[in-house]
Amino acid sequence: MSSSHGLDLLKRNARKLSFRKGRVILREGESSDALYVIEQGSVEISALIGPHERRVFATFGVGDYFGEIGVIDSKPRSATAIAKTHTVVRRISREKVWRMFTRSPRLLVTMMRGFSHRLREFDQRYLQELFQHERLALVGRFAQSIVHDFRSPLSDIGFAADLVSAGDATHKENTMANAMIRRQVDRMAGMIGEVLEFTRSSRSRVVLTKTRFDQFIEEMVAELRPEAARKSVAIELKTSPPRIRIPLDRHRLPHVFSNLVRNALDVMPRGGRIMLNFILGERDVMIKVEDTGPGISPDVLAHLFDPFFTHGKSHGTGLGLSICKRIVEDHKGWISASSKRGGGAVLTFSLPRSVESPASKRRKGSKNGADLREKRVKESTRRGRLGSRL
């Protein structure tokens, strides 16, 4: 049975309907109760891509049909059909379509071949449109994140520039302002570098240098307190940072502290507290960053460190905590999150007090190998002596 003959058979069992240009013939989400064959005019098939953007996937003309997917699976319409010009269609109810399929299996086969071909075309077009939409949305989220993260350092640079340009600024104030500008420029460069690093297939080499941990923390807190104060948030040290020297990447690790603190600031627009707690262990130092915000729901906790997971934030790419996790793990540490009873989030991460160098690993491996060989020689000698006595 030819396709045209099958359509003629369907049309003979159909009700004739007329639609003016721009009228909706069937709407996305409505119940699927009929198949339509176009007798005159043309019809546009469109669907939503994202929450508000509608895209046209196909335009059908005389002899084409639409609405067949709903007839097959009985689920709500997945697209909207609108008359592009004055259009006349034949409407065949689902019951009639299936009765004809029962009487003529060849008609069913013919129609299913057409359905399959069209589904392939629709899937390919939909995936292309969806990919384009997601790609543009991702670019937008990156742009929003960069603009948001740059506001604070740009504000500090503007303040420092005003101070430098003031005619009555003292030498000490000029020195302080220039240092502030340098720090904020480095900070912005670091943020850009982290985003670029995340998009690379391979990680950058970690450069660890022995650093006074207490001095590093004092510098970080001094840099973050003015921003927190502008939002009526106090940064408190519940315990003093230990006076030890540990291996740190001084260019990358500040991103972890600043990201955790700024995430806490985002959820406390009316003020609050951020508390830092340090626990010194035999092999590492553990840092807890607590806040007095609303806490983190269990469903969010499960995905908090996943890339692009924004958990309802109006800005950001969802890369911040993923990058923090990568930086901490590059230091051979770990990071986790929890929520306190009664509200408040706790982000905890660890930093090793020492990192074994490749040379020491080789020496240790050589020593272990030598010990193993010595043990085997002793065991062989013992067995030989035992054999001679037997």
Write the pLDDT tens digit of every residue in 175-212: 888 888 877 777 676 666 666 656 654 555 678 999 99
Tokens, residue 177: 């302002």
CATH number at residue 17: 2.60.120.10
175 and 236 inside one domain: no
Q: Kindly state the average pLDDT of the residues 63-86.
A: 82
230 and 318 inside one domain: yes
pLDDT tens digits, 7-17: 565 666 678 99
Domain termination site, one of 176, 199, 222: 199
238 and 290 inside one domain: yes
Lowest mean pLDDT among 136-150, 315-329, 375-389: 375-389
Residue 385 binned pLDDT confidence (cut-offs 50, 70, 90): very low
Evaluate whether residue 89 is within a structural domain. yes
Query: Is residue 236 scored above 70 in pLDDT?
Result: yes
Calpha distance 98→92 (Å, rounded): 10
CA 75 to chain centre: 31
Evaluate whether residue 241 is within a structural domain. yes
Give the position of tokens 């990358």.
Answer: 252
342 and 234 inside one domain: yes
167 and 82 inside one domain: no
**What's the pLDDT score for residue 127?**
55
> Which of 289, 215, 205 is CA-nearest to residue 245?
215
**What's the pLDDT score for residue 217?**
96
pLDDT tens digits, 281-302: 999 999 999 999 999 888 888 8
| Alpha-helical regions (H) of the chain | 3-12, 68-73, 94-103, 105-165, 171-199, 213-230, 253-266, 298-301, 320-330, 358-389
Top-confidence residue, 11 or 63: 63
Give the position of tokens 């009700």.
Answer: 15
Q: How far lies 244's CA from each of 99, 127, 219, 281, in Å?
A: 83, 54, 15, 12
Evaluate whether residue 67 is within a structural domain. yes
The pLDDT mean for the chain works out to: 78
Q: 148: domain range?
A: 137-199
Calpha distance 375→381 (Å, rounded): 10
Q: What is the DSSP string of 320-340?
A: HHHHHHHHHHHTT--EEEEE-
**Alpha-carbon dihedral sign for residues 85, 88, 94, 98:** negative
Top-confidence residue, 388 or 328: 328
Q: Kindly state the average pLDDT of the residues 116-121.
A: 60
Calpha distance 133→142 (Å, rounded): 14
How many CB atoms are located within 10 Å of the residue 259 CB? 21
**What's the pLDDT score for residue 227?**
87
User: What does pTM read for this prediction?
Assistant: 0.49
**What's the pLDDT score for residue 104?**
65
Evaluate whether residue 347 is within a structural domain. yes
155 and 242 inside one domain: no
Calpha distance 223→184 (Å, rounded): 10
231 and 157 inside one domain: no
**What's the pLDDT score for residue 148?**
62
Q: Which of helix, strand or coil describes residue 237?
A: strand
220 and 348 inside one domain: yes
Calpha distance 43→56 (Å, rounded): 11
Tokens, residue 170: 């003292």
Residue 390 binned pLDDT confidence (cut-offs 50, 70, 90): very low
Evaluate whether residue 55 is within a structural domain. yes
Evaluate whether residue 389 is within a structural domain. no
Domain termination site, one of 103, 128, 151: 103
Evaluate whether residue 32 is within a structural domain. yes
Q: Of the spans 6-20, 41-55, 64-78, 222-236, which averages the highest pLDDT?
A: 222-236
180 and 213 inside one domain: no
Residue 233 binned pLDDT confidence (cut-offs 50, 70, 90): very high
**What's the pLDDT score for residue 273?**
96
pLDDT tens digits, 97-116: 777 766 666 666 666 666 55
**Do residues 6 and 33 make contact, with C-beta atoms less than 8 angstroms apart?**
no
Long-range pairs for 69-74: beta carbons < 8 A, 24 or more residues apart: 69/32, 69/115, 69/119, 70/31, 70/32, 70/33, 71/32, 71/34, 71/35, 71/97, 71/98, 72/115, 73/32, 74/32
**Do residues 241 and 278 make contact, with C-beta atoms less than 8 angstroms apart?**
yes
Tally of domains within the chain: 3
